[in-house]
A and B are shown apart, each in its own frame.
Chain A
Amino acid sequence: MAEITFDGVTKIFGDDVRAVDDLTLHVADGEFMVLVGPSGCGKTTALRMLAGLEEITSGTLSIGGTIVNDVLPKDRDVAMVFQNYALYPHMSVAQNMGFALKVRHESKDEIARKVGEAAAILRLTDYLDRRPKALSGGQRQRVAMGRAIVRSPQAFLMDEPLSNLDAQLRVEMRLEIARIQRLLGVATVYVTHDQIEAMTMGDRVAVMRGGQLQQVDTPQDLYDHPANEFVAGFMGSPPMNLLRGGLENGADGAVVVLGAQRLAVPPRYNASHDLGLGGAVVVGIRPEDVEVLSGAEVAGSITTRVERREALGAEILVHLSLLDAEGTSAFVVNDAGAVVTRPSTLVAKMGPRAEVRVGDTLRVRFNPERFHFFAADSGVSLRQA
């Protein structure tokens, strides 16, 4: 068991494709680290460099304090679970799980004992003589896990191991993998594009984009305090609403001008955020922090119209457009040069029994505790640490 350290690790494919750009990341011993990001963000390349399947262009990578840049995969003592499982098709489940031990010349009794233990943990004991093609998707996934855990390696590397499973099985295996990892206490780097897996499984989550690390933090801190617009938009479903507006000094303090409407900024943010008046700003608010008001107009509320309504059973998502001065609807400003593509409407989460119809005019208020502010040009959070 060991810690893993990426120190300024860069991978350049061909002449100029920077798949991973100056990645610095520390995974503590026994920690479950999730690398998450959209496809092409470099997360899989980072994992493959850790496995030794890709050469490192520059920077140093160490496992257990030893620099492994030039160490062969077989000498790194890491185990990997592949997206397609990569089970050896002509070997039985037991042979698949025991292959690494056989290669290391362990005795037959020892191999049988370790495979038996791993099979018991993974509930595969009844399937040890089967070939992979005679197994279901979930069973194959568990064999791939078993192949990793029999070795008691220094680290587990997992490359989207759940993406080939159906939704229900994925939820099951999510818990299963997290359970086994806690049981064994082995440092784990887990790659996924699914932010729900990232939120539920990781001790910490590293968000990547375009080869660059955006933010590393615990899932809740990542959700509550995203470092930039990208992280804000990536984590959470539906994503955070990001509204671009002008920041002005109003009669009762700062306001964000959103088209014809003025959104008062609660005074508490003046101290904690580097707002700077007079410029453009992006206000972020999560769908669950948009409150629908009934009755009288309340200070700090804005007027919207319901454009779409999605009933999900446990909740209703309403897509709102802001109303302009004439009372006609104007979609939320969605500028082309934005750091991330934003939805053209404001999304609010409402209770399942809420009486709301398309075309209704709603007054909404943003939870004053849950505002996020980002620089309009760079997308970086204006929150002062």
Chain B
Amino acid sequence: MSSATATAPRRRRLTLSRRRQLAGAVFALPAIGLVLGFIVVPIGQAVYYSMTQWDGVSSTWIGPSTWNQALHNPTLWTALRNNALLLLSVPFALGLPLAIAVLLHQRVAGWRIFRSIYFLPTAISWVVLGLVAQRFFAYQGTLNSIIHFFGFSHTNTNMLGYESTALSALGITFIFTMVGTNTMLFLTGLATLDPSLEEAARIDGAGRWRIFRYITLPHLSRFIQLAFVMTVIALFSALFSLIFVMTGGGPGYATTTMEFLIYQTGFNQGDFGTAALYGLILFILTAIVGVVQLRLIGADE
């Protein structure tokens, strides 16, 4: 009797919803473990190492004063400025693919071939693309050949050779590398557009521009937002191979971005502590872009 009264309440305490909560927690454990192991712990380590003198083997604790020192390094500000300037290429990295996708979606003659051609760069390593771009912009490269072909035989460019133009050349190359992915993304978006919407708009009296403005563009807005995020993240975190192959960050620091600066600081100067600090700054910048973007998408819904 006494044992029955003792066990009954205990059994009753494990209600179905309680058991579900427990099961939920158990199932979430592996994911929590992965997040902790691969995201939270490394970030914590980065914060720790950013306050040390670390050559990759042994570290000496210095404290938050490392931050003060690093933030006064003019190269950091040059790199940040370069990153900011490169953002100017984003509208082109979205607009050009959008125009191409809309044209291909009209089923212009040979659209299948064009689709393959535009997508091809996506399948090629950025190292190769960088090499090709370097040849293109070089003093004896393709760009000058084209200029000479059109009769300007005394005009010579060397965009990668000057501080004033190297970043532009890098930006143009970046736009080119993003065209394939973004075009595909927009084509996918257009494929999900109900063709009868366009027909309805045509009967309603809309011309090509209005159909694009009022039907196509609103439909594509989510795809454009996604392309925007992907492009900005690529710009901040995937430009390394292009820079390494095309300019090595130069001339001077003209094409050194945050990402490249991290590499140089860590591996060329052996200052992994400062590199970790720069890594944190880049992470925060990228996170800000992501959060702002999420807010925009959230506001839309």
Contact = CB atoms under 8 A, between A and B. Distances in A.
Chain B at the A interface: SS class:
helix
Contacts of A100: 204-205
Contacts of A82: 196, 199-200
B197 A78 contact: no
A151 B200 CA distance: 13
A79 B199 CA distance: 11
Given A88-B214, A90-B218, A99-B214, A52 B194 contact: no
B205 A52 contact: no
A382 to B, nearest CB: 44
A74 B205 contact: yes
B207 A86 contact: no
B280 interface: no
B202 interface: yes
A53 B205 contact: no
Contacts of B201: 88, 99
Contacts of B205: 74, 100, 103-104
A49 interface: no
Looking at B194, B200, B205, B215, the one whose CB has the most chain A CB atoms below 10 A away is B200
Interface in A139-192: 147, 151
B206 interface: yes
B219 interface: yes
Interface residues of B, number: 17
A84 interface: yes
Contacts of A53: 199, 202-203
B206 A103 contact: yes
A73 interface: yes
A227 interface: no
Contact of B204 (A72, A84, A147): A147
B210 interface: yes
Interface string A53-89: 1000000000000000000111010111010101011
A99 B210 CA distance: 11
A88 B218 CA distance: 10
A84 B206 contact: no
A297 B202 CA distance: 67
A147 B219 CA distance: 20
Contacts of A86: 194, 196-197, 199-200
Contacts of A89: 197, 219
Contacts of B210: 103
A103 B204 contact: yes
A51 interface: yes
Contacts of B219: 89-90
Contact of B207 (A51, A74, A84, A99): A74
Contacts of B215: 88
A74 B209 CA distance: 13
B206 A88 contact: no
Contacts of A91: 214
Interface string B180-209: 000000000000001011011111111100
A5 to B, nearest CB: 20
Size range of the interface on A? 20 to 34
A211 to B, nearest CB: 21
B127 to A, nearest CB: 42
Given A86-B194, A88-B214, A90-B219, A80 B207 contact: no
A106 B202 CA distance: 17
A252 B189 CA distance: 75
Contacts of A103: 204-206, 210
A86 B204 CA distance: 12
Contacts of A74: 202-207
A78 B203 contact: yes
B198 to A, nearest CB: 9
Interface in A16-72: 51-53, 72
B203 A51 contact: yes
Contacts of B196: 82, 84, 86
Contacts of A72: 202
Contacts of B199: 51, 53, 73, 80, 82, 86
Interface in B218-262: 218-219
B218 A80 contact: no
A88 B197 contact: yes
A151 B210 CA distance: 18
Given A82-B200, A91-B214, 18 more contacts: A52-B202, A52-B203, A53-B203, A73-B199, A73-B202, A74-B205, A74-B207, A76-B203, A79-B204, A80-B203, A84-B196, A86-B199, A88-B197, A90-B218, A90-B219, A100-B204, A103-B206, A147-B204
26 contacts: A51-B199, A53-B202, A53-B203, A73-B199, A74-B202, A74-B203, A74-B204, A74-B206, A74-B207, A79-B203, A79-B204, A80-B200, A80-B203, A86-B200, A88-B197, A88-B200, A89-B197, A90-B218, A99-B201, A99-B214, A100-B205, A103-B206, A103-B210, A104-B205, A147-B200, A151-B204
In order of increasing CB-CB distance, the 10 nearest A-B pairs are: A100-B204, A86-B200, A86-B196, A74-B205, A90-B218, A103-B205, A73-B202, A73-B203, A80-B203, A82-B196
